[in-house]
Amino acid sequence: MPSSRTPAWILPSLLAVTVTAALVAVPGAGGAAAPSSAVPVAAEQDGPGPDTAEQSKTAQGRAVQGEPGTTKPRPDARDVVLAVHGGAGAALDRETTTPAREKAYRDGLARALRAGQKVLDRRGTSLDAVEAAVKVLEDDPLFNAGKGAVFTADASHELDASVMRGSDLAAGAVAGVRNLRNPVEGARLVMEKSRHVMLSGEGADDFGQQHGLATVTQDYYWTQARWDALIRAKETASGSKTAAKTPEALADEQSKGTVGAVALDGRGDLAAATSTGGLTNKLPGRIGDSPVIGAGTYAKNGTLAASATGAGEVFIRGAATSTISNLMEFARLPLASAAYEVLVKRLPALGGDGGVIALGPNGDFDAPHSSPGMLHGYLTEDGAVVTKVFPDESPANT
């Protein structure tokens, strides 16, 4: 496993104090059946017990302390080189999810991990790996990104994506694109071929087409499941259906089905990528956290690579992913404690839930979430694949 790099630059101490003191409060789906025989899927790994009181006081192993039973000081896994998520939101139910549907979700996550693994195995960069993994998820109609994107209120599709490289903090994003087949490619193109960080709408689509990216018409993104979800949302909003009482209920089970990936390559460089179709029945022009650097995506060598999923507006207000990094850098919290502080203690206080996949420079991996469930999986240094699609495989943190 590659060793952690010393950050290339360090902010003045005054800024460190200011950022630490001013960090805003921030919080912390679908099902799948038996794993593919070609992709071994491990069960939930039992982590070490909670840190002792003495350990929690040390600078190196400090834990975030809350009410009894709420401390989350240890990562979910170690020696991880790549992780993906397929969204946080309504949890899949073991009793009602068919084996075929479970298998479809597990296979989708595993294919994304294997795509990224191929890149890393040939000594490719972490940025190449996360792009490859996210493209697989964008092409899978089960996930709310690319092919499986949800509908806006005017029955169209507007997609967002971002990428970030931890070695130099380079980043790129596209927002509200309507014709790029793989928005994550557009995000990387903005990073590498423009002097900007984010392009939106028609300008982003045109930029991608000018540089040879594959484009599609809007009907490419259409799926029956997403159309049915839009109809249900509109019926509920109009009052013709009264079962749904909350804004979250206006969306389908995968409305928070953002996809993302984080990776650590053989050079010790971190990278992250996130892509989404947004929220079912969202207003045209709405942009969530996925293309916003520091909210839905963040990567910095020396701290972490993170990709978020959940209530986008809350993740933007809480600067979710960059706040985790800041807590690690300035407050010297370990990865799991910093991620728990943000996703589980801060974001719910702002009125939203969700999750994050976070990978540190030493291979520590954590996936805290305050939502009922979060589809995700990871690849370890020795090639083992783990996927988690049910709530009991990845219980919500409290």
Per the domain annotation, does 167 fall within a domain? Answer: yes
CA 386 to mean position of chain CA atoms: 16
Q: Residue 248's domain is classified under what CATH number?
A: 3.60.20.30
Tally the domains of the chain.
1
Q: Which range (172-176, 290-294, 310-314) has the least confidence?
A: 310-314
Whether 271 has a pLDDT exceeding 70, the answer reads: yes
Whether 12 has a pLDDT exceeding 90, the answer reads: no
Q: Is 361 exposed, middle or buried (0-12, 13-18, 19+ CB in 10 A)?
A: buried
User: Which of 50-54, 71-75, 166-170 ranks highest by mean pLDDT?
Assistant: 166-170
Whether 43 has a pLDDT exceeding 50, the answer reads: no
What is the pLDDT at residue 31? 35
User: Per the structure block, which two tokens stand in for 242?
Assistant: 């009264």
Beta-strand relationship, 171-177 and 198-200: parallel
Per the domain annotation, does 31 fall within a domain? Answer: no
Q: Is 258 one of the catalytic residues?
A: yes
How confident is the model over 63-74, as a mean pLDDT? 48
CA distance 386 to 249: 30
What is the pLDDT at residue 252? 41
What is the pLDDT at residue 96? 84
What is the pLDDT at residue 186? 98
Q: From residue 179, how far is each of 22, 43, 184 by CA, in Å?
A: 39, 39, 12
Whether 255 has a pLDDT exceeding 90, the answer reads: no
Under the banding of pLDDT at 50, 70 and 90, the label for residue 91 is low
Whether 41 has a pLDDT exceeding 70, the answer reads: no
Whether 287 has a pLDDT exceeding 60, the answer reads: yes
Under the banding of pLDDT at 50, 70 and 90, the label for residue 66 is very low
Give the largest Cα separation in the chain, rounded: 59
pLDDT in tens, 314-345: 999 999 999 999 999 999 999 999 999 999 89
In degrees, rounded to 5, the angle at the alpha carbon of residue 253 between the alpha carbons of residues 247 and 259 is 105
Q: Is 248 exposed, middle or buried (0-12, 13-18, 19+ CB in 10 A)?
A: middle
Percent of the chain with pLDDT strictly greater than 90 = 68
What is the pLDDT at residue 93? 74
Whether 253 has a pLDDT exceeding 80, the answer reads: no
Element (H, E) at 327: helix 320-330
Catalytic residue among 236, 258, 274, 276: 258
Whether 27 has a pLDDT exceeding 90, the answer reads: no
Strand partners, 356: 308
CA distance 264 to 2: 8
H helix intervals, 170-252: 183-193, 201-210, 224-238
Per the domain annotation, does 80 fall within a domain? Answer: yes
Q: Which range (4-8, 31-35, 115-119) has the least confidence?
A: 31-35
Q: Which residue has the higher pLDDT, 248 or 83?
A: 83
How confident is the model over 88-114, as a mean pLDDT? 87
Whether 42 has a pLDDT exceeding 70, the answer reads: no
How confident is the model over 35-51, as a mean pLDDT? 35
What is the pLDDT at residue 322? 98
Average pLDDT value for the chain: 82
Q: Say which amino acid occupies 233.
A: A
Per the domain annotation, does 30 fall within a domain? Answer: no
Per the domain annotation, does 34 fall within a domain? Answer: no
Per the domain annotation, does 21 fall within a domain? Answer: no
What is the pLDDT at residue 256? 58
> In the chain, at which residue ranges do the beta strands (DSSP E only) sit?
80-89, 159-165, 171-177, 198-200, 259-264, 270-276, 297-300, 304-310, 354-359, 365-366, 373-380, 385-388
Q: Which range (131-145, 227-241, 295-309, 364-378) has the least confidence?
A: 227-241
Per the domain annotation, does 65 fall within a domain? Answer: no
User: Per the structure block, which two tokens stand in for 208?
Assistant: 């991608």
Under the banding of pLDDT at 50, 70 and 90, the label for residue 88 is confident
Per the domain annotation, does 54 fall within a domain? Answer: no
Supply the range of the domain harboring residue 140. 72-388
